[in-house]
Amino acid sequence: MTDNYPSFDDRWFYALVAVGIFLNATGLFPPIMELDGALYACIAKQMAQSGDFVNLYAVGADWLDKPHLPFWVIAVSYKIFGINTFGYKFPALLFFLGSVIYTYKFARLTYPKLTAQVAALVLLTAFHGVLSNSDVRAEPYLMPLIIGPVYHFYRVFMGDRHDRSAISLRYGAPKSWLHLLIGSFLTGCALMTKGVFVLIPIGGGLVLHWLLTGHWRELLKIRWYVAVALSFAFTLPEIYCLYQQFDLHPEKVIFGQTGVSGVKFFFWDSQFGRFFNTGPIKGEGDKFFFVHTLLWAFLPWSLPLYIGIGKQVIALIKRKTNGAPIEYVSLGSGLLTFALFSFSGFQLPHYMNIVFPFFAILTAQFLVNLKPNTLRRWTIGQTGIGVAIAAIALALLLLVQPDNVISALVWVVVITIATFSIFRQNTLLSLSGRMVGAMLVLAGTLNLFLYPTFLRYQAGMATANYVNANPTLAKRPTILYEPGTGVGGGSFWTYEFYAKAPTTYARTDSVLQMQLKKSSQQVFTTALYADSLELRGFQVKRLALFPYYHVSQLTYDFLNPATRAQTLLPYVLAEVGSMSERAKE
């Protein structure tokens, strides 16, 4: 399209992108965080070690919750980089960066280059996106698998207005069909990452755009039904795996019952069951949860996002475009997904990450279209938010007092001063540069200084490191004693992941007694469980004690070193022998 706005100089843009990549890459350094990240890391570890890419296992049992694709990717990464923190997190970072590229490319289809540049920088610095590259779950994988298909399908909608590519000419296929194929493949990958609801953010915005721009006949074109068919065809590996693990074995006990269909769970219970709160995994929905969650999750861009969305909705109602480019895909995909999650019975903050690319475009469009005087005021206002972020980082460092606190304080002060020295004027470039600097301060503070301190209190990881460093203990397998059903929780998963020797689970006393039948074994469990084992006649010799805290739920008492001890729970590594004959009686 023709640019009506002067874009950022490429040198400035690529420099800011490089800083944005670096601040997200700082998330590679902290250890894997409990709970979900550690669980997913263990599932992929089992897959990589066993070579079984069909069945998913957690806590020594069949696991039916998330689809396979992220675990396949992580397991392959383990094969390349080893079973370690980097091997788990690195592929997620690459996927996230893929979403940044697709966001830029999609914005360029309709908007000036400046809008695409700002959108890329917004996505690189939105807080929960940065956080998700440290506490890695499925969302970094899903982001490019949402915006990617939208880009390719929008290219199909636009038609072959550009020269045919060398690849498409080589195979004699029109470029639009090549985009249709790639878009369908990425949609299939999205389905194998999160389930069928991904069709809403992928297709909802496109459909809304066609309806609002008078292109409703697109809904009658056979190519879109071909795309749907291809998308589900590319999902067949997931269907095959679920069928093999669950549908062929109705005798397996899943969610406390037999006869559970993995295929049905994939198509219904995992998505609609959560939405209607009728499935085996339930939650408590709050209709305004994401309204206030986005205020912090999309920092430092939440205010321009909200106002930008509001202005677009008002313009849509009034049917006023003021000569601006018309693109309702971002608005449609963002708001439809927002509404879907808001009315869902199961809500978590990171769910909204998957539509951050669309939110980034909406934010960029709003900022780029500001008049000079208004832009100046917004730059000053956003700078205030950036200063507040730096102040919060400084306050946290002074409160927590991590190791290398002096280096951490220097990090905050030097980057803050450098940012304001480089970006002095109240322009859009300065606004973008200041926000990149603010998030560099925050990301570095969290990932390089604070999280290393917090994650020491993942007792499972600390115990595994202790065992690995002790030659007499490192060679022995460990029993993870966690009574109950389901996947459990606590700090067992980080022990399972970081331990170099094999681990097995004992969920009942009878299973533990059987495992101890020949000789005593090395056991990792909570101090409370260890005490209960001793009371019931097991022979328990405590080898080491480690403090535990659920680090993804920070409180002031934990952050404050003076009160931290009262928030901690003890885990123990013990030598446990079988129950005495008298106790059995």
User: Minimal CA–CA distance to 558: which of 442, 394, 399?
Assistant: 399
Answer whether residue 37 is part of any domain: no
Contact yes or no for 466/20 (Cβ under 8 A): no
Contact yes or no for 360/122 (Cβ under 8 A): yes
Contact yes or no for 397/451 (Cβ under 8 A): no
Give yes or no: residues 364 and 244 share one domain.
yes
pLDDT at 487: 85
Tens of pLDDT along 470-485? 999 998 999 999 998 8
User: Minimal CA–CA distance to 530: which of 520, 521, 541?
Assistant: 541
Give yes or no: residues 135 and 198 share one domain.
yes
Q: What number is the average pLDDT over the span 441-459? A: 96
Give yes or no: residues 451 and 472 share one domain.
no
- Residue 205 pLDDT greater than 70, yes or no: yes
- Residue 75 pLDDT greater than 90, yes or no: yes
* Residue numbers of the domain that contains 281: 64-368
- Residue 175 pLDDT greater than 90, yes or no: no
d(CA 411, CA 442): 10
d(CA 315, CA 489): 48
Residues 6+ apart with CB under 8 A from 214: none
322-326, 368-372, 561-565 — which is least confidently predicted? 322-326
State the chain's mean pLDDT as an integer.
90
Strand, coil or helix: what is 526? Answer: strand
> pLDDT band for position 582 (50/70/90)?
very low
DSSP state of 257: B
Give yes or no: residues 87 and 205 share one domain.
yes
Q: Which amino acid is at 194?
A: K
Contact yes or no for 545/571 (Cβ under 8 A): yes
Quote the number of domains for the chain: 3
Burial of residue 348, with CB atoms counted within 10 A of its CB: 0-12 exposed, 13-18 middle, 19 or more buried: middle
Q: What number is the average pLDDT over the span 551-575? A: 95
Tens of pLDDT along 207-220? 999 999 889 999 99
Answer whether residue 429 is part of any domain: yes
3-state per-residue secondary structure call for 73-100: HHHHHHHHHCCCHHHHHHHHHHHHHHHH
Give yes or no: residues 353 and 437 share one domain.
no
Residues 6+ apart with CB under 8 A from 176: 155, 156, 159, 160, 223
With tokens 């008298």, the residue in question is 582
pLDDT at 321: 64
Answer whether residue 50 is part of any domain: no
> pLDDT band for position 279 (50/70/90)?
low
Would you say how long the chain is, in residues?
Answer: 585
Dihedral (CA of 349, 350, 354, 359) sign: positive
Tens of pLDDT along 387-420? 999 999 999 999 999 999 999 999 999 999 999 9
Residues 6+ apart with CB under 8 A from 278: 272
Answer whether residue 360 is part of any domain: yes
Answer whether residue 18 is part of any domain: no
Give yes or no: residues 291 and 345 share one domain.
yes
Answer whether residue 12 is part of any domain: no
d(CA 558, CA 454): 9
Q: What number is the average pLDDT over the span 29-40? A: 94
- Classify each residue of 53-69 as buried b or exposed e, where b means 16 or more C-beta atoms within 10 Å of its C-beta: eebbebbeebbbbbbbb
Give yes or no: residues 440 and 314 share one domain.
no
Backbone angles phi, psi at 378, to 5 degrees: -65, -40
pLDDT at 163: 43
Q: Which amino acid is at 522?
A: Q
d(CA 97, CA 78): 20
User: Minimal CA–CA distance to 228: which of 157, 180, 179, 158?
Assistant: 180
Tens of pLDDT along 485-521? 888 888 999 999 999 999 999 999 999 999 998 889 9
Tens of pLDDT along 213-252? 889 999 999 999 999 999 999 999 999 999 999 999 988 8
113-125 and 85-110 helices, crossing angle to 10°? 150
Q: Which amino acid is at 226?
A: V
Show which of 421, 456, 491 is a domain's final residue: 456
Give yes or no: residues 218 and 304 share one domain.
yes
114-118, 275-279, 396-400, 439-443 — which is least confidently predicted? 275-279
> pLDDT band for position 544 (50/70/90)?
very high
d(CA 254, CA 62): 8
pTM of the entire predicted model: 0.92
What share of the chain has pLDDT > 70, as a percent?
Answer: 90
> pLDDT band for position 269 (50/70/90)?
confident
Q: What is the CA radius of gyration of the chain?
A: 26
User: Minimal CA–CA distance to 435: which of 294, 300, 308, 296?
Assistant: 300
Answer whether residue 58 is part of any domain: no
Give yes or no: residues 451 and 546 share one domain.
no
pLDDT at 466: 97
Show which of 456, 481, 503 is a domain's final residue: 456
Give yes or no: residues 489 and 556 share one domain.
yes
Token code pair at residue 375: 């832009």
Answer whether residue 568 is part of any domain: yes
The β-bridge partners of 540 are: 576
- Classify each residue of 219-239 as buried b or exposed e, where b means 16 or more C-beta atoms within 10 Å of its C-beta: eeeeebeebeebbbebbebbb
How many C-beta atoms lie closer than 10 Å to residue 314's C-beta? 10
Give yes or no: residues 378 and 284 share one domain.
no
Ramachandran bin of 404, using left for φ above 0, alpha for ψ from -120 to 50, beta for the remaining angles = left
d(CA 311, CA 372): 18
d(CA 486, CA 408): 41
Show which of 326, 349, 368 is a domain's final residue: 368
For residue 554, the domain's CATH number is 3.40.190
How many C-beta atoms lie closer than 10 Å to residue 487's C-beta? 18
- Residue 201 pLDDT greater than 80, yes or no: yes
User: Minimal CA–CA distance to 145: which of 110, 107, 94?
Assistant: 94
With tokens 């496109």, the residue in question is 206
Give yes or no: residues 427 and 574 share one domain.
no
Omega before 300 within 30 of 0, i.e. cis: yes
